[in-house]
Structure 1
Amino acid sequence: MNASRPDANPSAGDLPFEEALGQLEEIVRRLERGDVPLDESVAIYERGEVLKRHCEQLLKRAEARIQRITLTADGRPDGVAPLDVS
């Protein structure tokens, strides 16, 4: 993978969260610098949108997997419930 060209790899679906986020951060830095030609800016912006959606999906899956154990009145495990993080 070429870290200096996050738009060089079109597939985001197989990337782990940390790598996808790193590529997205690099895209933001490049766009904020403002020295990228217009055509390339559009292409890397589109890549950023793909990476953003991928990261959001991975985060939603991770949240769904976080659970809390519910206990009975005498302290025995009774099951699991979604973790309320709010």
Structure 2
Amino acid sequence: MEEKTELTFEQAMERLDKIVEQLEQGDVPLEKAIQYYKDGMELTKVCHDKLKNVENEMAEIMNQNGDTTTFTVEDESE
């Protein structure tokens, strides 16, 4: 499997979707399901890290004075 940190956000999300589809089918052997889960957790971390980087970039862009300010993306569930 290619290095997960080199994936784009979209590629990581696509792989996560495929993992979810496989697990939802319910006919995955336990060992394979555990590997899917581990891969999914790694992909989730990749996505989170990429979103965090974008959030940091947006903080710099949002301040017109050139000073960095706090910029956070609100969770939709809140």
- TM-score, length of structure 1 as denominator length: 0.71
Alpha-carbon offset, residue 82 of structure 1: 3.0
Query: Does 1:54 find its partner at 2:57?
Result: no
Runs of 4 or more above 6 Å deviation: none
> What number of residue pairs does the alignment pair up?
71
Aligned-pair RMSD on alpha carbons? 1.7
Q: Percent identity?
A: 31
Structure ranking higher on relative contact order (CA contacts 8 Å, 6+ apart): 2
Runs of 5+ consecutive residues of structure 2 not aligned to the other structure: none
When you count strand as a share of all residues, which structure comes out higher?
1
Alpha-carbon offset, residue 25 of structure 1: 1.0
- 1:1-86 matches, within 5 Å, as 9=1, 11-67=3-59, 68-70=62-64, 78-82=65-69, 84=71
Looking at CA atoms only, which structure, 1 or 2, has the larger radius of gyration? 1
When you count helix as a share of all residues, which structure comes out higher?
2
Runs of 5+ consecutive residues of structure 1 not aligned to the other structure: 1-8, 71-77
- TM-score, length of structure 2 as denominator length: 0.77
Q: Deviation per CA, 1:11-53, whole angstroms, max 9, x where unpaired?
A: 2111111001100111011111111111110011100000000
CA distance in 2, matches of 1:13, 1:69: 29
